C-alpha cells in the first residue's frame, strides 16, 4: 500500500471490518485522535501498547537560506509530534526485509550494478558537450527562422 491513508479511509475500513455505521466509525476515529492530542498537551508523551509512543519535541529556531534569492532568514522554533512504533508493530512492518543482512564494504569496493561517479573532468566534458548541443540547436533554430522570414518576404 503506497498511498496515504486518510481519516475517511480509516473510518471506512473500521466500519467495514466491524460491521458498524460509518457515522459511529467516524466518531470513534476522531475521538481517538482527539484523546491523543489532549494527552500530548497535558503529558507531552502518550504510549499506546501495540501501536507506539507519541511525543512532543521542541525544535529550536534556526537560520536557513532562501534558495531562490540567497537571502538568509530565521525559521522560528516550534513543537512537533514524533511517533515511535511499538516493537511488535515495527517488527511486523520490517518482516519482509528481515532476510537482508548488513554487509560492511570497504570504501573502494565497486559492485557490478553500482553506478560509478563521474570525475570532475568527465563532468566538465559532459557539461561542455551539452552546452555545445544547445548552441547547435539555437543556431539551427535561427537558420530556420531566417529561412522562413526570407520566404515570407519573397512570396507575392
Same domain, 124 and 91: no
Has residue 2 been placed in a domain?
no
Same domain, 84 and 19: yes
Domain that residue 42 falls in = 7-62+74-97
Has residue 108 been placed in a domain?
no
pLDDT one-digit tens code per residue, 21-39:
999 999 999 999 999 999 9
Same domain, 80 and 18: yes
What total number of domains does the chain contain? 2
pLDDT at 78 over 60: yes
pLDDT at 150 over 70: no
Residue 84: CATH number of its domain: 4.10.520.10
pTM for this structure?
Answer: 0.54
Report the candidate in 89, 88, 85, 59 with the shortest Cα–Cα distance to residue 74.
Answer: 59
Q: Could you identify the residue written with the cell 512492518?
A: 93
Same domain, 125 and 154: yes
Same domain, 34 and 88: yes
Has residue 111 been placed in a domain?
no
Phi, psi (deg, nearest 5) at residue 74: -100, 130
Has residue 149 been placed in a domain?
yes
Same domain, 121 and 86: no
Report the candidate in 15, 31, 34 with the shortest Cα–Cα distance to residue 23.
Answer: 15
pLDDT at 155 over 60: no
Alpha helices in the chain (DSSP H): 7-17, 22-43, 87-94, 120-154
Has residue 140 been placed in a domain?
yes
Residues 121 and 21: their CA atoms lie apart, in Å, by 66
Has residue 1 been placed in a domain?
no
The two beta strands, 72-75 and 62-65, are antiparallel
Residues 138 and 136: their CA atoms lie apart, in Å, by 5
Amino acid at each position: 500500500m503506497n498511498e496515504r491513508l486518510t481519516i475517511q479511509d480509516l473510518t471506512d475500513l473500521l466500519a467495514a471490518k466491524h460491521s458498524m455505521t460509518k457515522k459511529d466509525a467516524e466518531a470513534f476515529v476522531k475521538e481517538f485522535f482527539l484523546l491523543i492530542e489532549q494527552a500530548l498537551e497535558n503529558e507531552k508523551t502518550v504510549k499506546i501498547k501495540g501501536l507506539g509512543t507519541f511525543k512532543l519535541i521542541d525544535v529550536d529556531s534556526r537560520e536557513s537560506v532562501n534558495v531562490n534569492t540567497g537571502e538568509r532568514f530565521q525559521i522560528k522554533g516550534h513543537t512537533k509530534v514524533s511517533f515511535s512504533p511499538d516493537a511488535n508493530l515495527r517488527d511486523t512492518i520490517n518482516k519482509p526485509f528481515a532476510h537482508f543482512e548488513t554487509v560492511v564494504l570497504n570504501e573502494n569496493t565497486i559492485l557490478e550494478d553500482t553506478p560509478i561517479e563521474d570525475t570532475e573532468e568527465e563532468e566538465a566534458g559532459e557539461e561542455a558537450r551539452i552546452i555545445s548541443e544547445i548552441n547547435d540547436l539555437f543556431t539551427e533554430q535561427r537558420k530556420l527562422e531566417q529561412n522562413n522570414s526570407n520566404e515570407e518576404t519573397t512570396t507575392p
